Amino acid sequence: MVKLFIPGPVDVSEESFKAMSEQMIGHRSKNYAALHGEVVPKLQQLMYTKNRVFIGTSSATGWMEGAVRNCVKKKCLNLVCGAFSERWHTITRDNGKQCEKLEVEWGKAIKPEMVEEKLKTGEFDSVTLVHNETSTGVMNPVKEISEVVRKHDGVLLFVDTVSSMGGAKIPVDELGIDVCLFGTQKDLALPPGLAFCSVSEQAFERAKTVENRGAYFDFIDFDKYAQKNNTPSTPNVSLIRGVNHQLGKWLAEGLDKRYEKHAKMAERVREWGKKNFALFPEPGYESQTLSVMTNTRNISVEDLNTKLKAKGVMIGNGYGKIKEKTFRIAHMGETTLDDINALLAMIDEILGL
Ligand SMILES: *Cc1c(COP(=O)(O)O)cnc(C)c1O
């Protein structure tokens, strides 16, 4: 078995596997409704929201499509700073919605002034933002950006928190995020295949007026079923049990403790990265759940990973167009500072640092 330090999927604990191994139940049964009714409030706690939270059986990308499909009426501003935020632009366009990109160089963060500049044209009714851009290791200033969006009446904010939810505090209601989405295989430390999406009252009202919302991710349909603690189509019951287990554990331990743990791991990797390589993200915007290093020593990341795998661990190579130029170390899920220290010691030894 190879321990994963890649930014998703991440390792799943034996306990979580056990929680997911129970026999199937019918999804229209009382037992399922009880499970659904137990999980949704836990998700709301994790997200610090009173909004509706829908459980969808897909990867997180499904809800990216759902958000734009249900809520973009006029024109959407896609904030792009890497591969996943670019994906949201492609999805918006391919669903036939009017949209425009506001793009910064990879490694840079989106700044609130840039968003203000665009929104004051009055052209837009929605904005997509990737909180933690997993391809570059940039954590965008979601608080400052959401403040700008909130100043513009009738503009909705959709935020992808796929690689940060659970590892960094994202208070959805305080920030006024209209649609916030993430999935199971990143910081939640569960297998892939289930994703969540919170929907504000404003976003829900918008959806009611949008035509062609699609079928699989229709917010109105999801709401109808959610009122009965159910989903429109057969959900991934096993994963929902996993979420129930995982969130039950985290909430009992206290979420703040998790954020602290992640901050410490991030600090450790950054310190190591600065000493031996360089950090790829612009200073001040480094992610709390994964660190991206610039490959200043021109090492072969593939070679390093082969040697690491022989020792039972694996890191992430660069993503997309910065594949060779960077490498990534995730500090997500159940990873501990001890795990990180052991990993860095192995890299030091292999590279003779
Ligand atoms: C992994 C990731 C996605 C894609 O999630 P899927 O669950 O594979 O659809 C989207 N956005 C970000 C920021 C990610 O890290």
- Report pLDDT digits (tens) over 294-306: 999 999 999 999 9
The residue type of 79 is L
Pocket test for ligand 1, best of 136, 163, 236 (most atoms within 8 A of CB): 163
What are 231's two structure tokens? 């989903």
DSSP string, 157-206: EEEE-TTTBTTB---HHHHT-SEEEEESSSTT-S-SS-EEEEE-HHHHHH
CA of 168 from ligand 1 middle (Å) equals 16
Which pLDDT score, from 0 to 100, does residue 289 have?
Answer: 97
Is residue 77 within 8 Å of residue 115, measured between CB atoms? yes
Distance from Cα 84 to the centre of ligand 1, integer Å: 7
CA of 213 to the centre of ligand 1 (A): 22
What is the 59 CA–ligand 1 centroid distance (Å)?
Answer: 8
- Inter-CA distances, 69 with 15, 66, 162, 219, 235, Å: 37, 5, 19, 10, 21
Which residue(s) pair with 102 in the sheet?
79
> What is the 187 CA–ligand 1 centroid distance (Å)?
11
pLDDT at 217: 98
Backbone angles phi, psi at 79, to 5 degrees: -85, 115
CA of 29 to the centre of ligand 1 (A): 31
- What pLDDT was estimated at residue 104? 98
Q: Which residue's CA is the closest to the ligand 1 atom numbered 2?
A: 162
pLDDT value at position 171? 98
CATH of 14-252, one of 3.20.20.10, 3.65.10.10, 3.40.640.10, 3.30.479.10: 3.40.640.10
pLDDT score recorded for residue 153 = 96
Ligand 1 site residues, Cβ closer than 6 angstroms: 8, 59-61, 84, 130, 132, 134, 160, 162-163, 183
pLDDT along the chain (353 residues), means of 10: 92 96 95 98 98 98 98 98 98 98 98 98 98 98 98 98 98 98 97 98 98 97 98 98 98 97 98 98 98 97 96 96 95 96 98 95
Q: Pinpoint the residues of the chain covered by CATH 3.40.640.10.
A: 14-252
The 10 Å Cβ neighbour count of residue 271 is 12
Note the pLDDT of residue 67: 98
Q: Which of 162, 182, 194, 239 to mutate to test the pocket of ligand 1 (most atoms within 8 A of CB)?
A: 162
For residues 320 and 135, the answer to whether their CB atoms sit within 8 Å is yes
Could you tell me the strand order of the sheet in which 99-103 lies? Answer: 52-56, 195-199, 179-183, 156-160, 126-130, 76-80, 99-103
CA distance 213 to 167: 31
> Considering only CA atoms, which of 196, 288, 281, 309 is closest in space to residue 243?
196
The number of the ligand 1 atom at minimal distance from the alpha carbon of 185 is: 7
* Atom of ligand 1 lying closest to residue 131 CA: 13
Q: Determine the distance separating the centroid of ligand 1 and the alpha carbon of 332, expressed in angstroms.
A: 14
And the tokens for 191?
């297998």
Whose tokens are 């920030």? That residue is: 175
Testing ligand 1's pocket by substitution, the residue of 86, 160, 180, 190 carrying the most ligand atoms inside 8 A of its CB is: 160
Superfamily of domain 3-8+254-351: Aspartate Aminotransferase, domain 1 (3.90.1150.10)
Q: Which of 246, 233, 250, 317 is nearest to 62 (CA)?
A: 233
Measured between alpha carbons, how far is 189 from 4 in angstroms, rounded to an integer?
Answer: 11
Q: How remote is the CA of residue 61 from the centroid of ligand 1, in Å?
A: 6
Whole-structure pTM value = 0.98
